[in-house]
Amino acid sequence: MSRGPRPFQTLRDAIPIARIRGIVQVAERGPESLFDFTIAGAKPVAFVRVKYTESIRAVLAEILRDCDDEIRRLRSVTQDAALSCELWLRSRYGTWRFFRVTADALVELRRDGLPLGGKG
């Protein structure tokens, strides 16, 4: 039995992950929303957009293409060292991938918000 539409399921499942990193404030959803929630109390403060995907193992070029709208919206948030704009992708099986969206790249992150392969 379904637990609801996948976009809402994805957002609901993202909140416990985000709470590990800090205080979560969910944004009001609408056609012009730039992000789904913020994570405060952590450094940097994160603006996060979540998305369900069928192709969780996609290469960066495919993610850039398939998530163009979400990436464009996150890039419209002011870029600053104290802020992190992040795209979180979830598969139907609950597998997650996390990315920091910068002005010209996607940087894959660990669940804790640090760069994948980085120390911390």
Q: Using the predicted structure, report yes or no on whether residue 94 has a pLDDT greater than 50.
A: yes
pLDDT in tens, 17-39: 999 999 999 999 888 999 999 99
- Host H or E run for residue 80: none
Find the mean pLDDT for residues 86-104: 95
pTM for the predicted model, two decimal places = 0.90
Domains and CATH numbers, the chain: 6-109 (3.40.1350.10)
Tell me, rounded to whole angstroms, the distance of Cα 101 from its chain centroid.
Answer: 9
Q: Using the predicted structure, report yes or no on whether residue 6 has a pLDDT greater than 70.
A: no
Longest CA pairwise span in the chain (Å): 43
pLDDT in tens, 38-86: 999 868 999 999 999 999 999 999 999 999 999 999 999 988 889 999 9
Q: E-strand spans in the chain?
A: 23-26, 37-40, 45-52, 83-90, 96-101, 106-109
Work out the pLDDT band at 104, boundaries 50, 70, 90: very high
Whether omega for the bond prior to residue 5 falls within 30 degrees of 0, making it cis, is no
Work out the pLDDT band at 2, boundaries 50, 70, 90: very low
Tell me how far apart the alpha carbons of residues 89 and 97 are, in angstroms, rounded to a whole number.
5
